A and B are shown apart, each in its own frame.
Chain A
Amino acid sequence: MAQAPMTASGESPMLLALRHVGKVFSNGVTALSDVDLTIREGDFLSLLGPSGCGKSTALRLIAGLSTPTSGVLDWRGSIDRANIGFVFQEPTLLPWANVFDNVWLPLRLKGISRAKAAPAVTEMLARVHLTGFENAVPRELSGGMKMRVSIARAMVTKPRILLMDEPFAALDEITRFKLNNDLLELWQDERFTVVFVTHSVFESVFLSNRVVVMAARPGRVHAELAIDAPYPRDEVFRTSPDYAALCRQASDILVNAINTSAGPHHDGH
């Protein structure tokens, strides 16, 4: 299995840099303020923070679903939307279409026929362990399976960067662990870049090579933590002292970030 390309010390080239990016909504809320963030080719970067810290807003800016009020997004080379995959918090599938058609959709929108798309769709379904479920409709699948379909749909166009907005937050722990492992496997094989929004310390440490902790009101980057543990990571890593120590470290930073977050009140973490 391929070793992950880099660690946070990062010699791989930059893919995207957010430079002094800010976003103010029309209701006056400052969602992001002066965010500087460099995303390198092949990174698995987690945005970790309390609710209201603007992690989802940052993700939408990167996706091009929203434009920054100030600052720039500096892409290396040209990138169009076809190079971006997006996985939402909910599976967000077409309820009337079966699994195959749901994964086919991004290709279909690019004018690729069912027959021509079939090899790519079939392969992607195999990668997320859903072979044999082509004809099931979302309603017939479990939450974890729906999320797998959603990931397959995001990956079927072979994007260079995959943006994930708390994708596993609604799943039970056993399913989440399984999906974490499978996602890492996929990432190591394909070497795309991932930006992963989460509010789980454990998930972010397990998955990423870089954890960026954000603070709220206004949303901003608080600190960054490099997770230098080698890939592949599996259940052995999940129970190792190294993992526990890193989680402790990330957790301390997060608590710190929450304490520096201004605002009416914050929920205990």
Chain B
Amino acid sequence: MTAIEQPVLTLDPEEAGRVRQERLERIGRWVLPLAIMILAIWFWDRICVWNEIPKYILPRPGVVLQTLYDDAGLLFSSLLVTLRITFLSLLLAVIGGVGLAVLFAQSKWVEMSFFPFAIVLQVTPIVAIFPLINIYVNNQTVKLLLCAWIVAFFPILSNTTLGLNSVDRNLRDMFKLNGATRWQQLRYLRLPAAMPYFLGGWKIAGGLSLIGAVVAEFVAGAQGQSSGLASRIIEAGYRLNAPRLFAALILISLTGIVIFLVLSLVSHLILRRWHESALKQER
């Protein structure tokens, strides 16, 4: 499409309609969710006013925002504690998940033998395991990390394992023909091929490690041993400080959203040149 062609381009009604439709969709994608969100917050505010709900039951949005500002020091220092656990456990989940997947990929026998253990770890609710960890582990940080790790590592492990095993058969033959060693096959073929799968697992694990961290803090916080956001929520709950409870809640979900967006962006940047999932739609 050149600049000269552009002005003389006359569209028939069908094409013109399609262009209009696309433009509307592009705007709507951002405007609609925002509008609904604003409407919902307004409705929340109205409900509080109409029903004269006291703020220790349901605070108005403005009050929550004010609390977020007033308690910023306290809340953000707690957020940092939670974030530290989240990122450390995500890091460990990546190392552990990919490491185990590579180990499993070395031999079907290893995978068959040990994969069930990973599944057992995954399906047992972390809240049920925590009392045990609490008995065996003394260090508070290690305790929380272990919890968050157990929750987060599985999607990375299972996705990466799947990726390492879904290499094109012909490519595998090609490597064999060229006398590739096991290490070369892993380094130049299987790991890059597993990348999209790994990144998919990573995105899930990002959210899960936050959930894992918060859940672990909840269980630990109930025993007054934690200073993360979850313990702020529990504390606020005891004191009927609903505005602070809401403020902490909002911080947690914002954190989750930011983690997801960042991981999605990184994943997109890595895959954008070659993988179907990251390519712009063409017609």
Contact = CB atoms under 8 A, between A and B. Distances in A.
Interface of A: 63-65, 81-82, 84, 86, 88, 90, 92, 94-97, 105-106, 108-110, 137-139, 157
Interface in B158-202: 168, 170-171, 173-180, 184, 188-189, 192, 195
B55 interface: no
Given A94-B192, A96-B274, A86 B173 contact: yes
Contacts of A138: 274
B181 to A, nearest CB: 8
B108 interface: no
A88 B179 contact: no
Contact of A92 (B171, B178, B274): B171
Given A96-B274, A108-B188, A139-B274, A65 B177 contact: yes
B20 interface: no
B179 A82 contact: yes
Size category of the binding interface on chain B: 20 to 34
B15 to A, nearest CB: 27
A106 B174 CA distance: 9
B46 interface: no
B188 A95 contact: no
A248 to B, nearest CB: 35
B170 A90 contact: yes
A110 B179 CA distance: 8
A78 to B, nearest CB: 15
A139 B178 contact: no
Interface of B: 168, 170-171, 173-180, 184, 188-189, 192, 195, 273-275, 279
Given A81-B179, A105-B188, A110-B179, A92 B273 contact: no
A84 B274 CA distance: 29
Contact of A86 (B174, B180, B273): B174
B180 to A, nearest CB: 5
B199 to A, nearest CB: 12
A94 B273 contact: no
Given A109-B188, A139-B273, A139-B274, A92 B177 contact: no
Given A82-B179, A86-B177, A139-B279, A92 B192 contact: no
Contacts of A86: 173-174, 177
Contact of A81 (B170, B178, B184, B273): B178
B279 to A, nearest CB: 7
A61 to B, nearest CB: 13
Contacts of A108: 188
Contact of B184 (A95, A97, A109): A109
A92 B174 contact: yes
A2 to B, nearest CB: 28
Given A95-B274, A96-B192, A105-B188, A81 B177 contact: yes
A57 B221 CA distance: 65
A146 to B, nearest CB: 13
Given A86-B177, A92-B168, A157-B178, 14 more contacts: A64-B177, A82-B179, A84-B177, A88-B170, A88-B173, A92-B170, A94-B189, A95-B274, A96-B195, A96-B275, A97-B192, A106-B178, A137-B273, A139-B274
A65 B175 contact: no
A88 B275 contact: no
A63 B189 CA distance: 20
Among A92, A109, A157, max chain B CB count under 10 A is at A109
A92 B170 CA distance: 6
A88 B174 CA distance: 9
A127 B279 CA distance: 31
A109 B180 contact: yes
7 contacts: A63-B173, A64-B177, A65-B177, A86-B174, A86-B177, A96-B275, A137-B274
Nearest to B171: A92
Nearest to A106: B178
Nearest to B173: A65
Nearest to B175: A109
Nearest 3 pairs between A and B by C-beta?
A92-B170, A88-B170, A95-B274
B96 to A, nearest CB: 25
A110 B177 CA distance: 12
A81 B180 CA distance: 11
Among B188, B189, B274, max chain A CB count under 10 A is at B274
A95 B195 CA distance: 12
Contact of A105 (B178, B273, B274, B279): B178
B176 A65 contact: yes
A110 B274 CA distance: 26
A109 B179 CA distance: 7
A164 B177 CA distance: 14
A96 B178 CA distance: 19
